[in-house]
Structure 1
Amino acid sequence: MLFSIEPKHSLRDIFNRKEEVSTFQKALQSERLIILDGLRRIGKTSLLKAVLEEFDGYHVFIDCRAYFRNNLIDAEAFDKALIKGIEKTLKLGKLKKILKSISGLSFGGFGISIEDKGQETSLAEVLKNIDEALKGKRFILAFDEAQNLRFYRKGGKDLLNLFAYTYDNLRNFVIVLTGSEIGLLHDFLGIDDPDAPLFGRYLSEIRLQRFSQDKSLEFLRKGFEELAIDVSEKVLERVVDELDGIVGYLSMYGYIYYKGNQVDALERTKEQAKKLVAKELGALIKRSMNYGYVLKAVSLHINRFSQIRTYIENNFGSISDPTLSKILNTLVKQSFLEQEYVDGVKRYSIPDPVVEYVCREMKVK
């Protein structure tokens, strides 16, 4: 169903992503480290799950958000989930023989107890054994919203070392990472940082873009056609004008309409979406009100550095240039803002229309 509000699990329900799906499928067969990124609610998780569901190989999927607590990744819970995921996958087909050698699990630093040996071996050694048994089949380790892994133990370095070992030594393994906070994910991986474990490795990046206006309308038409519901073109055009081409919002609208809220489906969608966004922004602003001040300014189309600084100082108090620069750079890395040069001047914008609504209405002081 196109309008399902949970992530899709079948390629039949993935709309207008043939090129991205094809690129991703080819990358899974030829690349070692893949990033699938784009704005929040753009469809990354759906595309990842749908492709993996039909992939001729093995995979483990970990949603990193599930282990993010009190501004840290719960390392023990994360380790346990990863190892359990591998254990579950080992039960498939010819990999059972590897599973038989694993009698127990311990979760400090990915330790795994080996039957009758009374000792522990690292996860890297177990992955090596799996790699040797794969005989050309690929094994995908997929981490959704992987920018959160920078909060795993000491900056996620243990995981980065594991990824680097896997990349260098295990030819049948592929690491797939998705991220909504694109800049932070790149910073975490440190591909261009000489001091980072993954420095110099080739990264295959697939970025999902929002739908065009025409494709957004086509998505809504097909979704309602699937449900045998007739909705006027005028109504659909207004929905696309309000929600843009972000498939998560369009799906939410279709689902709410389908559930019987036809008269006020758009307003209900916006209110529900605003609650999601407000929660995300609340966690951000709790760190510093400066994020709220900057987002408020940009939502009012005050979009140049000097203009933003003047707006903040006139309404909330002084802010230094280095502080403002740091706040803007962080918001860009977290994909709350985009930047572009117009006539040689850097300008900022909010790419998500619901984020813009919420920031415009936000009470900051």
Structure 2
Amino acid sequence: MLFSIEPKHSLRDIFNRKEEVSAFQKSLQSERLIVLDGLRRIGKTSLLKAVLEEFDGYHVFIDCRAYFRNNLIDVEAFDRALIKEIEKTLKLGKLKKILKSISGLSFGGFEISIEGKGQKTNLAEALKSIDETLKGKRFVLAFDEAQNLRFYRKGGKDLLNLFAYIYDNLKNFVIVLTGSEIGLLHDFLGIDDPDAPLFGRYLSEIRLQRFSKDKSLEFLRKGFEELAIDVSEKSLERVVDELDGIVGYLSIYGYIYYKEDPVNALEKTKELAKKLVEKELSALINRSTNYGYVLKAVSLHINRFNQIRTYIENNFGTISDPTLSKILNTLVKQSFLEQKYVDGVKRYLFPDPVMEYVCKEMRMK
């Protein structure tokens, strides 16, 4: 169903992403390191899961958000999940013989027992055995919202070293990472950093963009047609005007209209979206109120560097140029803001209309 609010698992439910699906499928067969990125709620997880569901190979999926607690990755829980997912995959097809040869599998400081009669081994050696057995089939290690892995121990370097080992030595493995905080994900991977484990490796990047207004309207029409519901064009245009081309919001609207309340579906969607955004903003502003000051300014269309600094100093206190520059760069890297040149002048804008609305309503002290 197009209007399902959980991630999609079938390509028939993926709307208007033929080009991205095709690029991703081709990359899975030819590339070693793939990044699938885009704004929050743009459909990255759905596309990833739907393509993997029909993928002719093996895959492991880890949602990195599930192990992010108190601004750190719960290393033991993450390691356990990764090993368990690999063990589960080893029960499939010709990989079963590898499972029988292993009595224990370890990664980092964690080890699990396996019912095989062979020796205990570490994850890298197990992956090497898998690679030698695959003979042309590919094995995908997929990490959703992978920018969180920078909080795995000391900057995630242990994982980056594992990724570099896989890239360099295991020709049948593919590492896939999704990310909503695009700049932070690229910083974490360090492809252009000579001191980073993955420096110099080729990265295949697929970015999901917002739907255009026409495509957003088409998505809503098709979704309601699937449900045999007639909704006026005027109502659909109002929805798109207020929610933009972010497929996650459009899906929530369609789901609420169908399941709960057609009369108040748009308002309820905005309230639910507002709660999602408020949770994300709360975690950000708890780190520094400067983030809130900047977002408040931009929500009021005070969106040039000097204008933002003046607004903050007039309302909240002094802020230095280096501090403001750092805050703005971080907000762009985390995809809370985007920067565009308008008439030759750099301006900061919200990519998400709900986030802009929430920030405009924020009360900052």
Task: Give TM class, smaller chain.
Answer: over 0.9
1:24 match: 24
1:317 match: 317
Q: Does 1:308 align with 2:313?
A: no
CA offset digits 1:205-262 (Å, max 9, x no partner)? 0000000000000000000000011000000000000000000000000000001311
1:342 match: 342
AA matched with 2:289: M
- Partner of 1:62, secondary structure, is strand
Q: Does 1:141 align with 2:127?
A: no
1:57-76 matches, cutoff 5 A: 57-76=57-76
**How far 1:116 moved relative to its partner?**
6.1
Matches of 1:125 and 1:74, distance apart in 2: 24
Contact 2:83/2:106 (8 A) holds in 1: no
Percent sequence identity is 89
Q: Point out the more displaced range, 136-145 or 333-342.
A: 333-342
Matches of 1:230 and 1:262, distance apart in 2: 11
Matches of 2:97 and 2:184, distance apart in 1: 39
1:129 match: 129
Unpaired segments ≥5 residues, structure 2 = none
AA matched with 1:258: Y
1:104 match: 104
**How far 1:109 moved relative to its partner?**
4.0
Please give the root-mean-square deviation of Cα atoms over the aligned residues, in Å. 1.3
1:244 match: 244
**How far 1:340 moved relative to its partner?**
1.5
- Partner of 1:339, secondary structure, is strand
Contact 2:183/2:334 (8 A) holds in 1: yes
Matches of 1:199 and 1:107, distance apart in 2: 23
Matches of 2:91 and 2:320, distance apart in 1: 58
- Partner of 1:121, secondary structure, is strand
**How far 1:345 moved relative to its partner?**
2.0
**How far 1:194 moved relative to its partner?**
0.1
Question: Cα 1:110–1:36, aligned 2, differ >3 Å: closer, same or farther?
Answer: farther
Contact 2:100/2:117 (8 A) holds in 1: no
Matches of 1:258 and 1:34, distance apart in 2: 36
2:204 match: 204
1:148-187 matches, cutoff 5 A: 148-187=148-187
1:78 match: 78
1:215 match: 215
- Partner of 2:140, secondary structure, is strand
Matches of 1:45 and 1:66, distance apart in 2: 14
2:192 match: 192
Matches of 2:47 and 2:174, distance apart in 1: 17
Contact 2:102/2:121 (8 A) holds in 1: no
Contact 1:112/1:121 (8 A) holds in 2: no
Question: Cα 1:349–1:362, aligned 2, differ >3 Å: closer, same or farther?
Answer: same
Contact 2:101/2:118 (8 A) holds in 1: no
Contact 1:285/1:292 (8 A) holds in 2: yes
Matches of 1:342 and 1:49, distance apart in 2: 37
CA offset digits 1:162-186 (Å, max 9, x no partner)? 0000000000000000000000000
**How far 1:32 moved relative to its partner?**
0.2
1:38-49 matches, cutoff 5 A: 38-49=38-49
Contact 2:106/2:122 (8 A) holds in 1: no
**How far 1:342 moved relative to its partner?**
2.4
Contact 2:79/2:110 (8 A) holds in 1: yes
**How far 1:105 moved relative to its partner?**
4.0
**How far 1:79 moved relative to its partner?**
0.6
Contact 1:144/1:179 (8 A) holds in 2: yes
TM-score, normalised via structure 2 length? 0.98
CA offset digits 1:44-99 (Å, max 9, x no partner)? 00000000000000000000000001110001110110111011001101000001
AA matched with 2:163: F
Q: Point out the more displaced range, 160-169 or 100-109.
A: 100-109
Count of paired positions: 364
Contact 1:113/1:121 (8 A) holds in 2: no
TM-score, normalised via structure 1 length? 0.98
AA matched with 1:342: V
Matches of 2:228 and 2:10, distance apart in 1: 21
Contact 1:110/1:123 (8 A) holds in 2: no
Contact 2:100/2:118 (8 A) holds in 1: no
Contact 2:3/2:223 (8 A) holds in 1: yes
**How far 1:113 moved relative to its partner?**
6.5
2:286 match: 286
Question: Cα 1:228–1:251, aligned 2, differ >3 Å: closer, same or farther?
Answer: same
2:274 match: 274
1:299 match: 299
AA matched with 2:351: P
Unpaired segments ≥5 residues, structure 1 = none
Q: Point out the more displaced range, 46-55 or 343-352.
A: 343-352
**How far 1:101 moved relative to its partner?**
1.6
